[in-house]
A and B are shown apart, each in its own frame.
Chain A
Amino acid sequence: MSEQQKREEDFSLQALKEGDRAEFAKVVETYSEKIYRLALKMLRNQQDAEDTLQETFIKAYHGFKDFKGHSKISTWLYRIATNEALMFLRQKGEPEISIDKQVQVDDGQTYTPTKIVDWCCLPEEELMSSEAMEYLDRAIEQLSEAMRVTFLLRDLEGLSTRETAEVLDISEAAVKTRLSRARMHLRERLSGYYGDALDSLPIETSHQGQDVLEGS
């Protein structure tokens, strides 16, 4: 994060406002991967993510002359990218799979955890299997648009609560609420997934394994 901020200060806003292409290329170099990743996790479609990436930087290039510098360049870019991605989602008119309804039922209350399984001990290769990662991506996709974008900005891109609030033009309290629900929902889903994996672990074998490991 601090390295990113340092790099950001390296940009000359004046040069960017004047349409300096070398300076703009530095911005593209710094942020293209982050924005592609956000768009990909948001849209789950490589072509749409690529289009979002291109549109974001085209808009940014032309938009710099009106950029007031009230926010960080990165925050401003994320705002453009987020709007582009949301527009894609709406154009496609995909039926939104929402858990908002479920959440709104107990409005003001919390998303209560129901699956209590300690799956932290699973081996790394099991936790990170491509099937597990695919499951995680699908679980993210099933979050409501509002929760998903908040979650991705905070936990995937590592923006602060304040920056996320700025990008989405919502209060910091709203960011925290959405984030909490998104995280708890994902935890719940993963607990279901990895809980099944734990159940299928042959218990006797693992006991034998302990004996073997004792010497090490």
Chain B
Amino acid sequence: MDQERNCQELAAYLSDYIDDNVEDEALCDEIEEHIHECENCQIVVDTLKKTLYLVHASAEQTVLPSSVRERLYHRLDLEEFISVDDNS
């Protein structure tokens, strides 16, 4: 019972925790200790980190299409400044 309540309470801080952003040091220690002993919360932390990793990876796949870029420069009347990409 006790453990369950703890998992639920601590869940609110896991986002800050993975950002290394829990200001209350005692709380940070408590989370660390809890995760060490609680397999479920360890999994939540790991999968939360992996979720963000996938978001970053997916972001890197999203590039500005050259046609969109050309139309942007045209619309802004900046065509003379459009740089040519090195990668052919």
Contacts and interface: CB of A to CB of B under 8 A. Distances in A.
Contact of B48 (A25, A28, A53, A183): A183
A57 B76 contact: yes
A96 interface: no
B52 A183 contact: yes
Given A136-B54, A187-B44, A37 B75 contact: no
A78 interface: no
A110 B11 contact: yes
B14 A184 contact: yes
Interface in B47-61: 47-48, 50-52, 54-59, 61
B11 A118 contact: no
A156 B55 contact: yes
Taking chain A's interface residues, is the majority helix, strand, or loop, or is none over half, making it mixed? helix
Contacts, number: 118
Interface string A91-112: 0000000000000000001111
A119 B50 contact: yes
B61 A133 contact: yes
B48 A155 contact: no
B interface residue count range (under 10 / 10 to 19 / 20 to 34 / 35 or more): 35 or more
Interface string B12-52: 10111000010000000000000000001001101110111
Given A127-B54, A184-B11, A32 B47 contact: no
Nearest to A181: B15
Nearest to B17: A180
Contacts of A110: 8-9, 11-12
18 contacts: A21-B78, A24-B76, A46-B68, A50-B72, A54-B72, A54-B75, A58-B76, A110-B9, A111-B11, A127-B50, A133-B58, A180-B16, A183-B52, A184-B14, A184-B48, A186-B51, A187-B47, A187-B48
Interface of A: 21-22, 24-25, 28-29, 32-33, 36-37, 40-41, 46, 50, 53-54, 57-58, 61, 109-113, 116-120, 127-128, 132-133, 136-137, 155-156, 161, 176, 179-180, 183-184, 186-187, 190-191
